[in-house]
Amino acid sequence: MKIFVTGGTGFLGHSLLPLLVQQGFHVRALTRHPAAHPWLQQLGVETIAGDVEDAEVVMRAAQGCRYVVHAAGRFSFWGKREQFEQTNVIGASNVMAAALAAGVEKFIHISTVVVVGNPLPNVIVDETHPTNPADPYQRSKLRGEQAALTYWREKNLPVVILRPGAFYGPYGRYAFNRLFIEDPLKGLLIQIHGGKLITFPTYTGDVAASILAALERGTPGEVYNICGETLMHREANTIVSDEAGITHFRLNVPGWSMIALATLWTALSEYTHVEPYYPLNLRSYVFNNWRVSSEKAKRDLGFAPIPFREGVRATLEWFYREGIVKPRKR
């Protein structure tokens, strides 16, 4: 079974590609710089040099494949609208067109639950929650979703859309991994609103497993939330502290002060051209209660996320192996 994967060298790809190979797939992965990823050759992955913005390369890469997993995407809390659109909308459409031409049996499109934007107060975020993206990244991902569903309705491309929560796990140092794991390990011990807001971590290994399940059992035209256990920030902080052997203390910082700092930092970045440490676009991710439901995926796909504590333990082990931080004595 030949499968074409975009985004195979990204955060998710490090969990996904080994799993696909283990399950007997012949994996063809698109990457800008194959030589920079010798682990792909060690896995036996066929590599194609290029990116999703090159429609001709993508068209050739999908030929002869039974399945396509589109996991490539530009994700950042800071950046220009055009950059996100180029990858997350135009690039995604290139992959869809290639999959359609190849006549694939299933197309898995990796979106994100944050297309919701700002969750409604006291409302569970399931697949029926209204979408109102709050930043350029979120808007581009929603447009990518809409393009995928249009391909399903109008051209019969068998699209299944997965909406993961906030990625965490080995091989990543951005977003949730940085804010909740790396920063505290390096001594940046802060939280807002007393840690009472709710976050939505999703272990990358769980997302990889859900892709495998969606290839087998996902219903074309359907959208599935893929999220681990939702936790208050202080609960997540406590588990990280327990597993890392660091203090439970977090300095409670007023939300308004963080917004003010992020506003100033983001304004300065227009001149420095360097992403601010706390971009203003973090607001919808950090200042909301993300009560995400994955019941549909559990029912239809057999989705079974690992406990957050177990995922943190695996993430810490990777941090230690990479020498990013040193393990503490327990």
Write the pLDDT tens digit of every residue in 273-299.
999 999 999 999 999 999 999 999 999
Tell me if 52 is assigned to some domain: yes
Query: Which own/partner pairs from 41-44 qualify as long-range (CB within 8 Å, at least 24 positions apart)?
Result: 43/17, 43/18
pLDDT at 330 over 80: no
pLDDT digits (tens, 9 = 90+) for 222-264: 999 999 999 999 999 999 999 999 999 999 999 999 999 999 9
Q: Which domain holds residue 84?
A: 2-172+201-229+289-306
What is the model's pLDDT at position 11? 95
What is the model's pLDDT at position 326? 86
pLDDT digits (tens, 9 = 90+) for 1-31: 999 999 999 999 999 999 999 999 999 999 9
Tell me if 126 is assigned to some domain: yes
pLDDT at 47 over 60: yes
Instruction: Please report where in the chains the tokens 């429609």 appear, as a residue.
Output: 55
What's phi and psi for 64, nearest 5 deg?
Answer: 80, 0
pLDDT at 270 over 90: no
- Number of other CB atoms surrounding residue 209 within 10 Å: 21
- Residues comprising the chain, all counted: 330
What is the model's pLDDT at position 328? 80
Tell me if 258 is assigned to some domain: no
Task: Give the whole-angstrom CA distance, residue 325 versus residue 24.
Answer: 35
Tell me if 118 is assigned to some domain: yes
Residue 209 belongs to domain with CATH number: 3.40.50.720
Instruction: Please report where in the chains the tokens 């996904």 appear, as a residue.
Output: 16
pLDDT digits (tens, 9 = 90+) for 64-86: 999 999 999 999 999 999 999 99
Rounded to an integer, the average pLDDT of 172-182 is 96
Give me the amino acid identity at 304: A
Using CA atoms, how far residue 166 sits from 11, 225, 230, 250, 314, in Å, is: 12, 11, 10, 21, 16
Beta strand spans in the chain (E)? 2-6, 26-31, 46-49, 67-70, 106-110, 159-164, 166-168, 190-192, 198-199, 201-203, 223-226, 231-232, 251-253
What is the model's pLDDT at position 329? 62
> Band of the pLDDT at 173, cuts 50, 70, 90?
very high
Rounded to an integer, the average pLDDT of 301-317 is 98
Tell me if 223 is assigned to some domain: yes
Tell me if 251 is assigned to some domain: no
Nearest-5° Cα angle at 39, 170 to 90? 75
pLDDT digits (tens, 9 = 90+) for 148-165: 999 999 999 999 999 999
Overall number of domains in the chain: 1
Tell me if 254 is assigned to some domain: no
Tell me if 284 is assigned to some domain: no
